[in-house]
Structure 1
Amino acid sequence: MTRLIVAAGGGGDAVAAAMLDAALHGNRDDRAVILTYAWDRLLVDPVAGPRRPADFTGLHRLAPGVISVPATAAPVPPAGSTLPRLAAELPHTFVLIDPSDGVEGVTAGLHALVTHLAPDSVDLLDVGGDILARGDEPTLLSPLADALTLAACSRIDAPVRLLVAGPGLDGEIPADALRPRLGARVLTFGPGPTGAVDRVLEWHPSEAAAMLAAAARGERGVCEVRGAGLPVPLTDESPAVHEADLGEALRRNRLAGALLTSTSLEEAEARSREICGSSEIDEERERSAAARRLARTAPELDRDAVLEGLDRFESEARARGATHTSFRRITEVLGVPGPARLALRDLLLDARPEQYAAPL
């Protein structure tokens, strides 16, 4: 069998795709091919927007229009990417989504991959469920990537199953709002499938994938995540995977509909600004510039200062009703730049091992 999983937004969706493959098919030798963006958070990639093939060395050409990212690939500095390390630590083949030519280009690449693989199944996977949004909700932070893949998957001549894992876990559209848009429950993750990505979640920055794995292991409560400290409930529904109607999702998603004939990423950004009022890549550009300034001035970690800051944050977060937090949230609260994040993680695991509810 050959199976194709399209990681709708890249990043954590690619990690969740490995969990999905493990849950559905166990440890079989014929692992799924995962089609994903190289579009990482600024903790990993200081350059705004998705990476394109020219941003890597060592890519592998599987077929015309089909480029995979092997473990030996490397991003061209100053860009960064989690994909080569994912390829090194997971037994899947990771194929690159290149949105340079808009939905037209993503569709062409997806068609070439389906033609090359002739897969028995094609799943489009989104963690959190914001792919089911209209695309213009004020709480949405990253609608563009999902809209591009949703539009492209609607155009290929192959059946595509749309799956939503962990409704509400991305902190953008609440689970209650998504529930009427969800179809049958396909499965509920347990601790077993998370074992497939244990090592990855020790370093990968995705908060949604981290919460999905923690919920699958039985963690319940409220997790405080990025930015303003969004509270995300961890409930019995959090480890669930539901099917949703792809056609309905496309009709509902105004941004995806507007991108159907787009021929460049710049055009897609312009339509996002018209419909959503902004482009997430513009916001990444602003945060990237701020992060570069911080990195130039950031001192080395002071253990006592870090632990004092953590105590203050913990007290305040508990008062807000939080029971868990993400590593990314801690880096933001303590003002720790990307280059120092590994030292911070080591410090936290050494000083507070009893508070580690992997990977939260």
Structure 2
Amino acid sequence: MKRLLIAAGGGGDAITAAMVHAALYGPDTPALVLTYAWERLVVDPVPGPRGAADFTGVLTPVPGLHLVTPQAAPKAPAGSLLPRLAAHLRPALGLLDPYGGTLGLARQIETAARWCGADRIDLVDVGGDIVARGDEPTLRSPLGDALALAACAATGIPTTVYVAGPGLDNEVPLPVLMPRLGEPALTLAPEDTDGVLAVFDWHPSEAGAVLVAAARGVRGVCGTRDAPRPLVLDDSARQVHRLTCAEALRLNPLAGALDRCSGLEAAEEASYEVCGFSEIARERRRAATAPAVPRPPAEPGTLLARFGRWERSRLAEGLDYVTTRRITEELALTPLEADGLYRSLRAEAPPRRVPPLWRLADVRGT
């Protein structure tokens, strides 16, 4: 028997699901995490999610269930970090393919539950957009979460929804979010992060990184990319809230609108109706404007000077810490530049790296 967990939005939610699993059942309890291959354009330049046909090397232990292993690989030009995650996370990883809509996802989840011998599901979201109403002005990526929630409900299998690190995805403002969540059910401890900490040396998830930092006792103000406000790392940032599937459905109109959805295009239409936008359409627009030819890397001295100017501006904003992704994207670093800059920062004393975040220059301690 394996525990069955669903990562509501993919990416950072898969990492968070591994942490929640460790906190609930112990890290060595057998488990399967089903997750989307729906990753940021910095990882996958092709807009939208990837399906099973977009990978080589996945395992199919039973029809309808696709396991991602370290030997799997995305087919070019697509990209995916799931095979690398599969090599690092203790739970096994399975692929959620949303192209069949809610009904297709429900069939995949039912198949996984039978294969695992699981009589219930844990649906895990980092941040809280799984209980978004759809009209929040800061909402960016509600569709994957809503599809996962609607699909779990469609299976009829008892499902518990866990929201970890409320507000850490900067999608639903905390004053709006907290009344929807109620009291915390558990608090992540440092040991719950042991199995995922090293992942953030290469994985770009910001909400997951900030959750890990909070669980490990880092306190202060952290800046993430493209966010309306910085995040405060306090005890509430490492808490996990528990809802029933019915409670989450009542809070999420988009999930309700996806009840009998049979395809991803129909799901997009529902997102337009409820939220006024489609995140897949946004990805298409961003992909169309991405630079086609990378520029030559900057010299190390020039790069450090540019980082220094950027850092002073972030200190003026009142930040104590920043994520790797914010540094990389705001400085528009190439992979070679990023590798060189982070090696230089790691060599500084006192240490700049406060795993998995970066400490700005005049902060002392963690």
Normalised by the shorter chain, which TM-score bucket?
over 0.9
Which of 340, 348, 351 in structure 2 is aligned with 1:354?
Answer: 351
TM-score (norm: length of structure 2): 0.92
Q: Name the counterpart of 1:25.
A: 25
Pair 1:314 & 2:311 matched: yes
1:26-105 alignment runs, 5 A limit: 26-28=26-28, 30-105=29-104
1:334-345 alignment runs, 5 A limit: 334-337=331-334, 341-345=338-342
**Cα separation, 2, equivalents of 1:200 and 1:63:** 29
1:1-360 alignment runs, 5 A limit: 1-28=1-28, 30-227=29-226, 230-293=229-292, 296-337=293-334, 341-350=338-347, 354-360=351-357
Secondary structure of 2:171's counterpart equals coil
Q: CA deviation at 1:97?
A: 0.3
Query: What is the identity percentage for the equivalent residue pairs of Structure 1 and Structure 2?
Result: 49
CA displacement, residues 306-354 of structure 1 (integer Å, 9 cap, x when unaligned): 2222222221112212111111111121112467544543343345772
CA displacement, residues 81-102 of structure 1 (integer Å, 9 cap, x when unaligned): 1110111122321110000011
Q: CA deviation at 1:208?
A: 0.4
Secondary structure of 2:6's counterpart equals strand
Q: 1:74 to 1:353 in 2, by over 3 A?
A: farther
Secondary structure of 2:296's counterpart equals coil
**Cα separation, 1, equivalents of 2:300 and 2:59:** 43
RMSD: 1.8
The one-letter code of the counterpart of 1:285 is: R
Q: CA deviation at 1:53?
A: 0.8
CA contact (8 A) 1:303 1:347 kept: no
CA contact (8 A) 2:138 2:228 kept: no
The one-letter code of the counterpart of 1:15 is: I
Q: Greater shift after overlay, 298-307 or 167-176?
A: 298-307
Secondary structure of 2:333's counterpart equals coil
The one-letter code of the counterpart of 1:318 is: L
Q: CA deviation at 1:129?
A: 0.7
CA contact (8 A) 1:298 1:336 kept: no
CA displacement, residues 284-325 of structure 1 (integer Å, 9 cap, x when unaligned): 1222233343xx142214222222222222211122121111
**Cα separation, 2, equivalents of 1:92 and 1:76:** 24
CA contact (8 A) 2:119 2:157 kept: no
For these two proteins, the number of residue pairs brought into alignment is 357
Residue ranges of structure 2 left out of the alignment (5+ in a row): 358-366
**Cα separation, 2, equivalents of 1:335 and 1:40:** 19
CA contact (8 A) 1:2 1:120 kept: no
CA displacement, residues 208-239 of structure 1 (integer Å, 9 cap, x when unaligned): 00000000111112211112564112111001
CA contact (8 A) 1:167 1:174 kept: no
CA contact (8 A) 2:103 2:154 kept: no
The one-letter code of the counterpart of 2:163 is: V
**Cα separation, 2, equivalents of 1:101 and 1:341:** 38
CA contact (8 A) 1:131 1:146 kept: yes
**Cα separation, 1, equivalents of 2:180 and 2:228:** 26
Secondary structure of 1:354's counterpart equals coil
The one-letter code of the counterpart of 1:306 is: L
Q: CA deviation at 1:140?
A: 0.6
**Cα separation, 2, equivalents of 1:77 and 1:172:** 31
Secondary structure of 1:222's counterpart equals strand
CA displacement, residues 191-210 of structure 1 (integer Å, 9 cap, x when unaligned): 11111112212111100000
TM-score (norm: length of structure 1): 0.94
Secondary structure of 1:244's counterpart equals strand
CA contact (8 A) 1:69 1:84 kept: yes
**Cα separation, 1, equivalents of 2:31 and 2:262:** 29
**Cα separation, 2, equivalents of 1:339 and 1:99:** 34
Secondary structure of 1:40's counterpart equals coil
**Cα separation, 1, equivalents of 2:340 and 2:268:** 36
